[in-house]
Chain A
Amino acid sequence: MSSSRALYIVDYGAGNLRSVQKAFEHVGVEAVVGCDPRAIANAPGLVLPGVGAFGAAMEQLNSKGLVESLLSRIEAGVPFLGVCLGLQVLFEQSEEDPGVRGFGLVQGDVRALPATVKVPHIGWNQAEVCACSDLFDDIPEGTAFYFVHGYAVVPRSPGDVLAMTDYAGVTFVSAVEADNVVGVQFHPEKSSTMGLRFYRNFARRAGLADRS
Chain B
Amino acid sequence: MLLKRIIPCLDVDRGRVVKGTNFVDIRDAGDPVELASRYDREGADEVVFLDITASHEKRDTIVELARHCAEELFIPFTIGGGIRSEDDVRALLGAGADKVSLNSAAIKDPGLIAACARRFGSQCVVIAIDAKRVGIPGGGTGSDEGARPLRWEAYLNGGRVATGLDAVEWAAQAVALGAGEILLTSMDRDGTKDGYDLELTRAVAAAVNVPVIASGGAGTLEHLAEVIHSGGADAVLAASIFHYGEYTIREAKEYLAAKGIPVRL
Determine the chain A residues whose CB is within 8 A of the CB of B71 once the complex forms.
18, 22
Q: B19 at the A/B interface (Cβ < 8 Å)?
A: no
- The total of Cβ contacts below 8 Å across the A-B interface reads 71
Taking a contact as CB atoms under 8 Å apart, the answer to whether A190 and B74 are in contact is yes
A interface residues with partner B (beta carbon < 8 Å): 16, 18-19, 22-23, 26, 51-52, 118, 120-126, 144, 146, 148-150, 166-168, 189-193, 195-196
For residue B214, give the distance in angstroms from its CB to the closest CB of chain A: 15
Determine the chain A residues whose CB is within 8 A of the CB of B96 once the complex forms.
16, 18-19
Q: How far does the alpha carbon of A118 sit from the alpha carbon of B93 in the complex, in Å?
A: 23
Taking a contact as CB atoms under 8 Å apart, the answer to whether A123 and B2 are in contact is yes
Which of under 10, 10 to 19, 20 to 34, or 35 or more describes the interface residues of B?
20 to 34
Q: How far does the alpha carbon of A150 sit from the alpha carbon of B3 in the complex, in Å?
A: 17
Q: B70 at the A/B interface (Cβ < 8 Å)?
A: yes
Interface of B is mostly: loop
Q: B186 at the A/B interface (Cβ < 8 Å)?
A: no
B interface residues with partner A (beta carbon < 8 Å): 1-3, 5, 40, 43, 45, 70-71, 74-76, 93-94, 96, 98, 121-123, 180-181, 209-211, 234-235, 264
Interface of A is mostly: mixed
Q: How far does the alpha carbon of A167 sit from the alpha carbon of B211 in the complex, in Å?
A: 14
A-B residue pairs in contact (CB < 8 Å), sample of 26: A16-B94, A16-B96, A18-B71, A18-B96, A19-B70, A23-B74, A51-B121, A118-B209, A118-B211, A120-B121, A120-B122, A120-B123, A122-B123, A122-B181, A122-B211, A123-B234, A124-B3, A126-B3, A144-B3, A148-B76, A148-B123, A167-B1, A190-B75, A191-B75, A193-B74, A196-B74
